[in-house]
Chain A
Amino acid sequence: MRTLLMGSLIAFIASVLLVADAHAIRGGCGLWRSFVPSDCCGVDMQYQLACSGGGSSCFTQIGTCELGCPFVQSVGGCPQARRTPAGPLYPAKLELAAESVPVDAARQGTASACGIGLKKLEDWLKRPSSRVR
């Protein structure tokens, strides 16, 4: 009888432990998005792109061009991206529409192909007259 009680008790404790740490977050990628198919950045972007590739301490992120098309931009300290003359902004290519977008493979085009959003907005903020149309 004692053996039976012990067995049940151990099984009960084991089951409690099993459910106590049962919160598994298996994330969807927060950056998958659908993009408007159009000829943008010189590349026909009719594909979806997944979120990121990864190095040891950096990863790539999908951005949205002015025309609604995707591009790849490095996030974090990406030495391989920073070394390229075009800077860390690359229009993405069709064949990169897989689950990862390696930075090296994304070295296409130039930074200006997608438009430099920051500069454009800084100019807009500096010119109050341009805000009234």
Chain B
Amino acid sequence: MAVLKTLRAAVVASSGFLLAVVFVLPLSAPCHAQKRGSAASKSASQPSVLPRVLQPTSTKLLSVPRFSYSGVPLSDDSGNLYFRPAADNDQLAIFKLSPQDEGNSKMFEVPSGTAEADYFDDYCVTPSGTLYILAQDVKRKFHVLSFDSDGQVKHNERLETPDYALVIDFAVFENGTILATGYYERDAPGPIHGKSYAALFDQSGQLLRDMTRRFSLEDASSEPNGPLTHISIRPGKDGNLYLLGSSSVLVVSPGGEVVQGLKFVKPDPESVAIDLEVSQGLLLIELGDKPAPGKRVNPRYLVLDASSGKRYGYYRASDEIKGMLGHFSSKEGLTFVTSEKGYVKLVTAAMN
């Protein structure tokens, strides 16, 4: 009898679990995300949607000589572009290119010998154009540097990260709060070895909140030379940060709350999410083919309404447009950085 009672309890408890899931899920995520989620499961068997081909609507040949740079260019809301120029040493410098007035272009340089800024790690720009550089010192501690309007280092704050934490990506809210994400080093002690790390810091580098449990990053590879997974973090003009996942975008407030979770359906289910841009009500998700030797990325651009997650458009650049996506504007469209006759050329393609 006791066994029967236990069995019945287990069956009913399981039903309770299922009911709870059904009722709790819609409360924990936006409605459109659920709809998108169900659509995603259907899309696996659906044929790929072809992207609309973007044609150049304007081009601008600048007087800036073409140059080599690391990583991807960033931009602010005014259309200024930020590059990390390639250097033959560990010079920490970011070049701000102002296409509207090239005379306003400038170099933000960290003078060599600056205390505790020994290695370059990453940089970010807020929508209003404030630049931050993430640097590392010889003791493997991380520092965030900011600049005044003349390009001089204004602040150099050490992040209160735990031992063995390796910051890979960071972004700064307009209010100065810093979000840092990464991993515990591969030579960290057992339990934390290779685990992900995320935290919020105030402007002085003091820890505000450990965010590791708010969202989990893919664990780092345990291989000594294995890949480390980056995530694309971009600031929005609404004061929030947008974090790109493989099929979702998380919106995080300066207080560290996940205020929105937008799921998106990739028109080509085989593609992977590469990068993210945010512009006044629209999100641009750069999709590409899965990396494989002999294959090119073939970038496509999925544009979503930032509040509803509804698809706005799906594009690819025409063969005529070559170069890196440098800026995305909901008004002007996509601006690519390329070169012609030894000079930098910007090619803009409107979405409509």
Contacts and interface: CB of A to CB of B under 8 A. Distances in A.
Contact of B136 (A57, A68, A133): A57
Interface in B1-59: 5-6, 8-10, 12-17, 19-21, 24-25, 28
Q: Is the interface of B mostly helix, strand, loop or mixed?
A: mixed
Interface stretch (B118-126, B153-161, B302-310): B118-126
A83 interface: no
B218 A27 contact: yes
A48 B244 contact: no
Interface in B209-253: 213-218, 220-221, 223-232, 243-246, 248, 250
Given A3-B9, A28-B274, A66-B67, A100 B86 contact: no
Interface residues of A, number: 90
Contacts of B339: 66-68
A8 B166 CA distance: 42
A59 B250 CA distance: 25
A63 B122 CA distance: 13
A27 B17 contact: no
Contact of B85 (A76, A118, A131): A118
B311 interface: no
Interface in B145-191: 166, 168-169, 185-187
A29 B231 CA distance: 6
Contacts of A3: 5-6, 9
A75 B121 contact: yes
B166 to A, nearest CB: 6
Contacts of A7: 9-10, 12-13, 16
B272 interface: yes
A47 B63 contact: no
Given A33-B299, A100-B227, A118 B86 contact: yes
Interface in A98-132: 98-100, 102-104, 111-112, 114-122, 124-125, 128, 130-132
B16 A11 contact: yes
Contacts of A95: 293
B67 A117 contact: yes
A37 B95 CA distance: 26
B105 A36 contact: no
